[in-house]
Structure 1
Amino acid sequence: MTTEVTPTELQAFTEEWLDWHRAQEARLADPHGFLAITGLHWLDDRPQRFPDAPGAWRTGRDGVVVTLDDGEELVVQGTPVRGEHRFGVLPERGGVDAVWGDAVIEVAKRGGHDIVRPRHPDAPLRAAFTGTPAYAPHPRWAVPGRYLPFDEPRPTTVGAAVEGLEHVYDAPGRIEFELEGRRLSLTAFPGRGPGRLMVLFTDATSGVTTYAANRALAVDAPAADGTVVLDFNRAANLPCAYTDLATCPLPPTENRLPVAIETGQKIPRERGGS
């Protein structure tokens, strides 16, 4: 696969990619980002205490409840709370961040289960983070494609980084494209923002130079004729590439590409990458 570009065009393309890459790294290493997570706690109807969060936590038909000890306080949506606080029933892939000193206690629902996931700025993983390795970007990996919407969104169940957990997405359509002379397609999930899409995939580099379980690619809203660009230079690691305390979805079976996508982010150093 070749794409002729001038040195000036390559420099401009690389600078845009670097802006994207730095933004990815900044979100990841935020004081309360995924590298700051210190525990993944699964709730049930028994009150449980955790070493990295205040209070006793439980869940049931009426949602998540925490009972704070005397002298303990959380700030929820700007309001200090003490004693018993009810978070209510959380939506799937939704959650609430409760502030505790310099930490944030994430209360969320993933795969139908309520969880508590504390985030502490001094977490060892965040403190040791030195950045994510990546391939050098090149315009040849920005591939044109065509989005084909389904007649109706298709509920699509995929596995998760946590064994036994499942995620369900309403897939709105698929994207067809050509790479290395092969006609390929990817099932798309809803992305962040109106009309935007997200694809999860693996390829022949997965487990070799890129993270084995998944990479994610954000896709801008398709044009009126369905055309899109799959810029694989921006294939990003999900949090599970760095930490076992993430519940990331895995790609659907049909998104296992039989070609090597030698661009985008590589295996993190935290997982033995270089």
Structure 2
Amino acid sequence: MSTTTRTAEQRWSDFRTARDAALAEPHGWLTITSFQWLADSPGALEGVPGTWTGTATHAAVTAESADGLTDLTSGRPVTGTITATLGDEESLSWVAFGGTEGRRVVVELARRAGRYAVRTRDAEAPTLTHFTGVPVFGYRPDLVVEGRFEPFTAPREEMIATAHPDVPGKHRTVGEVVFRLPGEDGEFRLRASQEEAGSLAITFHDRTNGASTAAWRKVVTRRPRPDGTVLLDFNRTINYPSAFSPFGTCPAPVAGNVLAAPVEAGEKRPEDRRDGDRTAAPRMRRVQSRVSG
């Protein structure tokens, strides 16, 4: 193994350490235990104290001191009614309850598709307490490939599915990344969105989905070089939160972002989601996901 490869593999190892540490945060993605829509008239939620409402304009929760709710925006107990207003796709760690300090469970308020919902994040969720790291493929230097970015004249808003059947999504496509994979004929072309500092995010299906990997995954490149070239390191392919929990609203790939080839690199399907994963991978058809000219 060359010095360059060892250095790249060590950087990947550091990336994996940081990734697992981020997932293991006390109220992170591994702690989500429910997703519930709020009704437009006051009502109770399963497993959550208080009375909850979600209208077209705001969300509200009413509680008594005995309910043990703490307003995380002020740090004070909830006695009476508090309200919050969010924009679509926004989320707020709103109130907490349970445990010796009253903050074992954080109730996250979210607005999706114009509706308010709450997700509970329990610091003692088995998904977190039993977590020992995401299973991954071994490092593959051959799956660090160079591609080229072909930007659109203007970004395109495209409708997509999400991991939740009642939550539609949008993908802001800024262009396409074109590349080859080792052992495969022809080029692949995947649409990308733009993240911070100009990096490109690509959500995609491949032929490992539903077997060794989740229904879809994501890889992020650095900002394209001045000549349009980009480096795709598939060893850094990661799962969306919906791979760990059935309560995610994560975006699915835009139509056509399918690799009719196995990408045996990056994160595998979490062991505890191998049964009952409701995010099914599509049937792969080699012809349609190639560039046909």
Correspondence for 1:58: 53
Query: Quick one: percent identity of the two aligned structures?
Result: 33
Residue of structure 2 aligned with 1:182, choices 164, 181, 186: 186
C-alpha distance in 2 between matches for 1:147 and 1:201: 16
Q: What is the match of residue 161 of structure 1?
A: 163
**How many residues are treated as equivalent by the alignment?**
265
1:96 aligns with 2:100: no
**1:204 Cα deviation from its structure 2 partner:** 1.2
Q: Conserved in 2, the CA contact under 8 Å of 1:10 and 1:138?
A: no
Structure 1 unaligned segments of length 5 or more: list them: 1-5
* Residues 225-247 of structure 1, C-alpha deviations (whole Å, 9 max, x = no match): 22211111111011111110111
Q: What TM-score results when the alignment is normalised by the length of structure 2?
A: 0.84
Deviation at 1:98, TM superposition (A): 2.2
1:188 aligns to what SS in structure 2? strand
Are the counterparts in 1 of residues 65 and 77 from structure 2 also a CA contact under 8 Å? no
Confirm whether residue 77 of structure 1 aligns to residue 79 of structure 2: no
In 1, Cα distance between the equivalents of 2:201 and 2:243?
17
In structure 1, the partner of 2:244 is 242
Counterpart in the other structure of 1:145: 147
CA displacement at 1:50 relative to structure 2: 2.5
User: Is the Cα contact below 8 Å between 2:37 and 2:118 reproduced in 1?
Assistant: yes
Give 2:256's match in structure 1, choosing from 250, 254, 258.
254
Alignment of 1:189-204 (within 5 A): 189-191=193-195, 193-204=196-207
1:84-115 CA distances to partner (integer Å, 9 max, x unpaired)?
11111x12221111242223211112343321
RMSD of aligned alpha carbons: 1.8
Q: Does 2:123 align with 1:126?
A: no
Instruction: Report the TM-score when normalising by structure 1.
Output: 0.90
Find 1:21's aligned residue among 16, 30, 42: 16
Alpha-carbon distance in 1 for matches of 2:206, 2:24: 26
Worse overlay, 38-47 or 229-238: 38-47
Report the Cα distance in structure 1 between the residues aligned to 2:219 and 2:115, rounded to whole angstroms. 26
State the shift of 1:79 in Å: 4.2
**Which structure 1 residue ranges, 4+ long, deviate > 3 Å from structure 2?**
70-73
Secondary structure at the residue paired with 1:24? helix
2:56/2:114 contact within 8 Å kept: no
Counterpart of 1:18, as a letter, is S
Q: Which amino acid aligns with 1:107?
A: L
Instruction: Tell me which residue corresponds to 1:215.
Output: 217
Report the counterpart of residue 3 of structure 1 in structure 2.
Answer: none
Aligned to 2:41: 46
Conserved 8 A contact 1:13-1:138: no
Deviations 1:213-264 (A, max 9, x none): 2101112121222221111111101111111011111111210111111111
Larger displacement relative to structure 2 (99-108 or 38-47): 99-108
